Amino acid sequence: MGKKLLFTDTTGRDGAQSLWAMNMQYGKYDAFIGELDKVGYHYIDVPLHAPYMKMAVRLFKENPWDTMHLFKQKVTKTKKMLSILNCIDVMDGPEPRSMLRLWHETTSRAIGASRFYSMINTRNELDRHCPWLVPMARDIGLEFQPCICYYPSPRTTDEYYANITRRLVEYEPEAFWFKDAGGLLTVERLRTLLPAIQKEAKGIPIEIHTHGMSTNHGRVVVEAMKMGIDGVHTCIPPLASGSSHVSIYNAMHNAKVLGLEHNITNMEAIEEVERRLRKIGKIENLPEGVPLEYDHGIYSHQVPGGVISNLRFQLEQLGIGHKLDEVLEEVVRIIKDMGYPIMITPASQFFVSQAAVNVATGERYKEVLDCMIETALGVWGWEDAGVPWMDPDVKDRFLSHPNAKILKEKYEKQQAIEAEEGSVNKIRASYGMTHASDEDFLLYHIMKGDEEIKRISKPYKSYFTGKEPLVVLLKELSKDHDISRLQMKKGNSFFDFRQK
């Protein structure tokens, strides 16, 4: 075997998305990412994805750029990576390529990122985007790591994935992700599938990224290690296990059993991150990831771990949290209706939303979401989106909807705009922001104005770690006038705090 197994951390991104519905404010990251940087990870996955920018402003009343700068400031030893091309979701598209370039330049600069990853076979991105996206990213100075996304269907054979890998090798990526967002891989499937990808990868490193929804991820990771996988994506408890990723503790243990060397050098830092995260979770009453019982239903509804967490939260908000199982059963029917598409962003979000509507209204497709009509139109891909195999009656119902014509015209305009270079300066001038910073301009553009931006409130909430100096304790105690006296003793040292 010889080579060193490389562990990458996705605690603050996919772990938080899977288990805490991305309820991650600036102060939470501030409390632990400095320690995370000491562990020795290959890369740290940074939480800059489509929902986060708007969540930070609308829900947390924070400026998301501050969180990005925090990662650049505190994570200095470990390389950072981020998802690319999600700005279409963030900005509600369409965007000319000059805006996409500005977005990627600004985000990678704010974070100090050196690698980008993109889910290639979810929206026909290989053909639509790679020819211009990869050169653009290289010009910015970013490494390219495409995600080969797994999902079970009659079409996704070993040859299907071998063909995707073969085509991607032409772009000379630094590494591949083999991404199992739904936790649907099994050891049996991996034994033929991974060799097919490895053969076509021509020695380019492959990392596995698999969730715990089916409870098979631990065994899948071990089998991948045996088969020569180059890297494994992990999380630190309490943001490991459950619908999240394998725990770094478990992955390290199994690597040791297999006699594999790895890149982790600082166990004390991992333990400190765990301690701080558990403290934050307790303060905020957030769940801890625990191993799930086997649920064969995951192979039917295929809902990814990160989406399950948000679905539970949204159903509770609608007052129908008790109908989760009913919604998941409806998802199974929708998947069949839609031609068995890949259940990953954005289809997974679309289908669970439509399923929730169907259950809430008590009638299938009584109300049809625009995203479902867009899917039938091919807006979100073609073959991997299942369009050629959709149920004809369902497809006709969607395409005869009053909104279908409007959405089709919108999509055609979107395609034309996305193919243009466009002018960032013209957009800046239209807002009267010719001299604004790139970050201020982009946030204004994303939020469609500054009404919500004006509600950002500082200073942000702090989550103390127990490692702060005594002066911080005194400052916080002085805010509580119900505390008149506090005594502390350590060894021969004695401290007496009093206030009137």
- Are residue 359 and residue 235 in the same domain, yes or no? no
Query: Which residues, listed in sequence order, are joined to residue 232 by a DSSP beta bridge?
Result: 7, 208
- Are residue 222 and residue 317 in the same domain, yes or no? no
- As a whole number, mean pLDDT of residues 373-380 equals 92
Tally of domains in the chain: 3
In the predicted model, is pLDDT for residue 254 greater than 80?
yes
- Are residue 265 and residue 327 in the same domain, yes or no? no
The predicted pLDDT at position 2 comes to: 60
- As a whole number, mean pLDDT of residues 187-201 equals 98
In the predicted model, is pLDDT for residue 139 greater than 50?
yes
pLDDT in tens, 377-398: 998 888 888 899 999 999 999 9
* Residue 452 resides in a domain: no
The predicted pLDDT at position 92 comes to: 62
- Are residue 17 and residue 67 in the same domain, yes or no? yes
* Residue 29 resides in a domain: yes
Which tokens sit at 391? 């149920």
- Are residue 10 and residue 109 in the same domain, yes or no? yes
CATH number at residue 131: 3.20.20.70
Name the band, by pLDDT with cuts 50, 70 and 90, for residue 470. Answer: low
In the listed set 241, 260, 284, which residue is the last one of a domain according to the structure? 284
| Pair 463, 28: CB distance under 8 Å | yes
In the listed set 418, 451, 479, which residue is the last one of a domain according to the structure? 418
Name the band, by pLDDT with cuts 50, 70 and 90, for residue 342. Answer: confident
In the predicted model, is pLDDT for residue 365 greater than 90?
yes
* Residue 442 resides in a domain: no
Q: What is the DSSP letter of 322?
A: G
Domain residues for the domain of 360 are 298-418
Instruction: Annotate 149-188 with b (16+ C-beta within 10 A) or e (fewer).
Output: bbbbbeebeeebbbebbeebbebebebbbbbbbbbbbeee
Name the band, by pLDDT with cuts 50, 70 and 90, for residue 499. Answer: confident
The predicted pLDDT at position 121 comes to: 67
Q: Name the average pLDDT for the chain.
A: 89
* Residue 433 resides in a domain: no
The predicted pLDDT at position 41 comes to: 98
The predicted pLDDT at position 314 comes to: 80
Closest CA to 12 of 24, 26, 30, 27: 24
- Are residue 306 and residue 378 in the same domain, yes or no? yes
pLDDT in tens, 40-57: 999 999 987 656 888 999
Query: Which residues, listed in sequence order, are joined to residue 26 by a DSSP beta bridge?
Result: none
In the predicted model, is pLDDT for residue 369 greater than 80?
yes
pLDDT in tens, 265-278: 999 999 999 999 99
- Are residue 259 and residue 124 in the same domain, yes or no? yes
Q: Angle at Cα 123 formed by Cα 394 and Cα 330, nearest 5°? A: 40
In the predicted model, is pLDDT for residue 348 greater than 90?
no
43-45 vs 79-83, strand pairing mode? parallel
CA distance linking residue 380 with residue 374, whole number of Å: 7
- Are residue 241 and residue 346 in the same domain, yes or no? no
- Are residue 277 and residue 330 in the same domain, yes or no? no
485-490 vs 493-498, strand pairing mode? antiparallel
Residue with tokens 């390529």: 97
Contacts of 461 (CB under 8 A, 6+ apart): 25, 26, 27
In the predicted model, is pLDDT for residue 311 greater than 90?
no
**Model confidence, pTM:** 0.84
Stretch (H or E) spanning 81:
strand 79-83
Name the band, by pLDDT with cuts 50, 70 and 90, for residue 467. Answer: low
C-beta neighbour count of 432 within 10 angstroms: 9
At residue 407, the 3 state secondary structure works out as helix
Backbone angles phi, psi at 385, to 5 degrees: -85, -5
Distances (CA, A) of 127 to 122, 150, 231, 420: 11, 18, 27, 17
* Residue 445 resides in a domain: no
CA distance linking residue 479 with residue 35, whole number of Å: 28
The predicted pLDDT at position 124 comes to: 57
* Residue 28 resides in a domain: yes
CATH number at residue 407: 1.10.472.90
At residue 118, the 3 state secondary structure works out as strand
In the listed set 284, 311, 328, which residue is the last one of a domain according to the structure? 284
- Are residue 248 and residue 101 in the same domain, yes or no? yes
- Are residue 204 and residue 108 in the same domain, yes or no? yes
* Residue 90 resides in a domain: yes
- Are residue 157 and residue 192 in the same domain, yes or no? yes
167-176, 298-307, 451-460: segment of lowest average pLDDT: 298-307
* Residue 443 resides in a domain: no
The predicted pLDDT at position 1 comes to: 46
The predicted pLDDT at position 27 comes to: 97
